[in-house]
Amino acid sequence: MAPFDLDACIAQLLRKQLLHEALLREICAKTKEVLMRESNVVHVSAPVTVVGDIHGIGGYAPHTNYLFLGDYVDRGLFSVETISLLTCLKLRWPDRVQLIRGNHESRAVTQTYGFYTECVRKYGGSHVWTYFTDMFDFLTLSVVIDDRIFCVHGGLSPSIHSIDQIKVVDRFRGASCYYARDHAQLTHCAEIPHEGPMADLVWSDPDPEKEDFAISPRGAGYTFGSGVVYKFLETNKMSHILRAHQLCMEGYTSLFDEHLSTVWSAPNYCYRCGNSASILEVGPGGSMFFNVFQAAPENERDGPSHQTAQNAGGKLPEYFL
């Protein structure tokens, strides 16, 4: 295949125009080569703009170094465009864009919560879903900003006490997995395991009422309390834990005397929650500013009611096809 123009791809996606299936196959393959070289713990320097859960709600990326904390797909109507854009941004600026794996970056979850169905609807088959979910297997598990802020999608694990233990997790050898549609095993698959440190990093949640670890009501990962947070920070000589994974009505929350923050970047989640969203700007001097925003007007215009009306009329906009 001839070399592709990433800047043109990014511009096309920002116009809500899908990329060709063959082009996405090539982009995902190239991105896997980049991700494969990254550690489970990527170290970056501030300033960094940090983005929490997006869930298929697109937008313009800030012109700075930026870190995305996972959950790029599912639930929103533009998961394909969103992950296509993020993948192109990562490939275009591999050292400036960091993508952490979230619990929705898996085959099992995306077949339940919308991404699989969206890929089939927009491309007429599951190939694009396969390209992206294969690429998800290569996403890093965590990022450390300025050697003092630990960033992860979900939270902590009773199996992990130090950053060095995360570095030796084999993220390329996850649980055995199957295509749920036909039960054909994927021998190369690195699906997120149901338990263990990798699962905990993407599934766990803080609990302000607890001190230690406890069983999570999610059915995967753990809840963890203040004692766990303070011990992890002390052991690793860090000052803050930054994560996503939980809806925050105000766009973000801070717990444990502001030693842990949750960033949520999907406004009006599922087109009905009415929540604010935020992105976090981490400055080189340790400053942290949450930039809170509301859903853009086009999110309502392009939301479920618009889609239903277009379906009823028998015609969809070009970017839905």
Which residues are part of the catalytic machinery?
104
Helix axes 115-123, 127-136, angle to 10 degrees: 140
CB 271 within 8 A of CB 60: no
Q: Report how far Cα 14 is from the mean position of its chain's Cα atoms.
A: 19
For residue 291, which phi and psi values (nearest 5 degrees)? Answer: -90, 105
Which amino acid belongs to residue 15? R
Tokens encoding 6: 């990433």
Q: What is the distance between the alpha carbons of residues 114 and 122, in angstroms, rounded to a whole number? A: 12
Reading the block at residue 53, the tokens are 């859960």
CA dist., res. 18 & res. 105, Å (int): 20
Smallest CA-to-CA distance from 97 within 65, 50, 58, 144 is with 65
Alpha carbon distance 279, 126 (integer Å): 32
How far is Cα of residue 306 from the mean position of the Cα atoms in its chain?
26
DSSP state of 269: G
Around 196, how many Cα atoms within 13 Å sit in the side-chain half-sphere? 13
What end-to-end distance do the CA atoms of the chain give, in Å? 24
H helix or E strand, kind and range, residue 108 = helix 107-110
142 Cβ contact list (under 8 Å, min separation 6): 40, 41, 42, 100, 150, 151, 152, 163, 166, 201
**Residue 313: strand, helix, or coil:** helix
Alpha carbon of 102 to those of 137, 221, 273: distances in Å?
11, 12, 21
